[in-house]
Chain A
Amino acid sequence: MIAVAADAGLQPVWQHTGPHWTLTLPAAGPGQRGEPTPLPRDLAAGARVVVDGAPLQAWDAALAAWLFELAEALRQRGAALQTETLPAGLQAVLALAQPTALADNPAPDALRAAALPALPRGRAPSQAAITVAFFGEVLLALGRWLRGRSAMRGADVLQQLDLTGPRSLPIVLLSCALIGLMLAYMGGAQLGRIGAQNFLADVVTVGMVRELAGMMTGIILAGRVGSAFAAQLATMKAGEEIDALRVLGVDPISHLVLPRLLALMGVAPVLITFGAVAGVLAGWPAAVGAYGVTTAEYFNQCLRALSFTHLWIGLFKGMLYVALVALAGCREGLQAGRSAQAVGAATTAAVVKGLLWIVAAACGTTVIFTSLGY
């Protein structure tokens, strides 16, 4: 017998008799090591390695894992690990970790290869294609609704109106008022340098009515309602509720998306109008207090600045943003996976997409309306 590694008591000891080896484990086990056990260099394929567990005082899962790794390394070398002298419990645990096949079942891999023809793999549709398809389906559903052939329930629209509208109003009012105040200060500071404080009201009115009331409403609804739409629909999808509709032949777009979209389009003009008024009113104390504009001048200038063009452009843009928010929320919800994690991901994606779409639409519409001369 030739000892390869000494240091008995701490290290496992490899010894060989002819081609076969004995591995003596130290009393405290091999301990926990990051490194895999080095195999003796002259261990040949076909060798048997007997583990001598006699000195072992105790064993734990770490030893089992160590032996499992050793057995794998030996198997790759073409050698085999024999564990007969190990404690019975340890042997049983190691046996459990061995891959086994049911005696009666043919090797699964062979069967799989024989029985399954390769499935032609189509390319998964891109996110953009999914979005376009979704918009198309919504348009078709809208068409069916306009022709009075939709499965949409009016009660659902009313319920969504209730959920989205009144409860969004306070926060829309607050955020629009703060924006109006900010506009007044910013406008006042700049206009004051050329002595044109009187036009402060123009900045606030046009800014709020034409651009910012709609945008703030869109942003608030993206966070408050778009995310909720995504979470509702994604949860319904995870709970197979959408499948339960489809099995009945009910189009989820008509039944779930349309009421949400229409409800949000219904509340949008109201919210935008209230938001614009709140912004203009909030600019008033700033104009009077900080820039010496009189109350009469402020409101007079407001009314003069407020043209029908600004009004309809502001409402149009705001409605567009809100529609995009509703669509982003519903799209993400319906496209979600079937897990709790997917619900969270859909909610986040709905808000991010909603905001991104709002900004893109704001930019696009501003360029278009400005170049058209409105």
Chain B
Amino acid sequence: MATTALLQVQGLAVQAGGVRVQQGLDFEVQRGEVLVVVGPSGCGKSTLLRHLVGLERPAAGRVLLDGHDLHHGDEAALAALRRRFGVMFQAGALWSSMTLGQNLMLPMRLFTALPAAECARRARFKLALVGLQGGFELMPAQLSGGMRKRAALARALALDPELLFLDEPGSGLDPPNAARLDELVLHLRHYLGTTVVMVTHEITSVFAVADRALYLDEHAKTMTALGTPDELLRHGPLAVRQFLQRGAAPAPAGPDRHPRGSA
């Protein structure tokens, strides 16, 4: 199975500001899987994500995307790897001086030889996928928080990535909007076959979208559980169960209760 894993993390130690926040991380993400990284605020989830996308150099260990080391190799090889994943940042990180359309088209123009009209057509389609039809000419500052997150998701999809990294997609959104975003992630996985690695502390999201969940413990400074959310809820270590129960108790908060008009 090891050869088919899309993302392999081996003995990874991550640091932020010179402080080692997590270490001994070993896990794999299979193609088509939704892996959710959970843990309390400050346990190093977002830092781990910054390492997984190659923004930070690991203190130890490797990150392999389809068998290629993400932190070693010549610039051309790294550029080829970067093309294969999309990242949605916590605050959206849309380039504020460009319209949504330009935000989506910039990666396409940088990495593909598509003509401008084709880029625009694809950008409009991606915006429609996330429910932002007609948002092509809008500036990021004109959007609400939920729209900004969806636009960021659309930009992460610009290059049709095999792998999507999402940093706290539901944070700062009201529950229906957060649920809508979760549902959107599931749709994308279903229709586009995208593999998803998602960082969150919203437990409702974990149960809504995760195939497997990875728990990072803030005290042990390493992963203490990896499995399906139900497994972790029933048989995980106490800290993990306590963490998950907070969200699982008021149970019926599934995304199905908020049907989307368009899909």
Chain A residues within 8 Å of B, Cβ to Cβ: 102-106, 108, 111-112, 115-116, 119, 121-122, 151, 159, 232, 235-236, 239-241, 243-250
**What residues on A are CB-neighbors of B15 within 8 Å?**
119
- Using a Cβ–Cβ cut-off of 8 Å, how many residues does chain B contribute to the interface with A? 39
- Check if A247 sits within 8 Å of B54, measured CB to CB: yes
- Please give the distance in Å from A210's CB to the nearest CB on chain B: 37
- Check if A116 sits within 8 Å of B239, measured CB to CB: no
- Check if B110 sits within 8 Å of A250, measured CB to CB: yes
Give 17 A-B contacts (CB < 8 Å), ordered by A residue: A102-B239, A104-B238, A111-B219, A112-B221, A115-B221, A116-B221, A239-B96, A240-B93, A241-B95, A243-B50, A244-B93, A244-B155, A247-B54, A247-B82, A249-B75, A249-B82, A249-B110
How many A-B pairs with Cβ below 8 Å? 80
- Knowing A247-B53, A249-B78, the reply to whether A235 touches B96 (Cβ < 8 A) is yes
Chain B residues within 8 Å of A, Cβ to Cβ: 15, 18-20, 23-24, 50, 53-55, 59, 75, 78-79, 82, 87, 89-97, 106-107, 110-111, 155, 217, 219-222, 237-239, 242
- Check if B96 sits within 8 Å of A243, measured CB to CB: no
**What residues on A are CB-neighbors of B90 within 8 Å?**
240
Once bound together, how far apart are the Cα atoms of A235 and B95, in whole Å? 11
- Check if B219 sits within 8 Å of A104, measured CB to CB: no
Kindly identify which residue among A115, A122, A151, A239 contacts B23, using a CB–CB cutoff of 8 Å.
A115
Which secondary structure dominates chain B's binding surface? mixed
**What residues on A are CB-neighbors of B91 within 8 Å?**
239-240
**What residues on B are CB-neighbors of A245 within 8 Å?**
95
- Check if A244 sits within 8 Å of B220, measured CB to CB: no
- Check if B219 sits within 8 Å of A105, measured CB to CB: yes
**What residues on B are CB-neighbors of A103 within 8 Å?**
238
Once bound together, how far apart are the Cα atoms of A121 and B15, in whole Å? 12
Kindly identify which residue among A112, A121, A236, A249 contacts B18, using a CB–CB cutoff of 8 Å.
A121
- Check if B220 sits within 8 Å of A111, measured CB to CB: yes
Once bound together, how far apart are the Cα atoms of A78 and B55, in whole Å? 50
- Check if A248 sits within 8 Å of B82, measured CB to CB: yes
- Check if A244 sits within 8 Å of B19, measured CB to CB: no
- Check if B95 sits within 8 Å of A115, measured CB to CB: no
Q: 7 nearest interchain CB pairs?
A: A104-B238, A240-B93, A108-B219, A244-B93, A240-B89, A249-B79, A249-B82
A159's nearest neighbour on chain B, judged by CB, is B97
- Check if B18 sits within 8 Å of A119, measured CB to CB: yes
- Check if A102 sits within 8 Å of B238, measured CB to CB: yes
Kindly identify which residue among B20, B55, B75, B111 contacts A243, using a CB–CB cutoff of 8 Å.
B55
Once bound together, how far apart are the Cα atoms of A242 and B55, in whole Å? 11
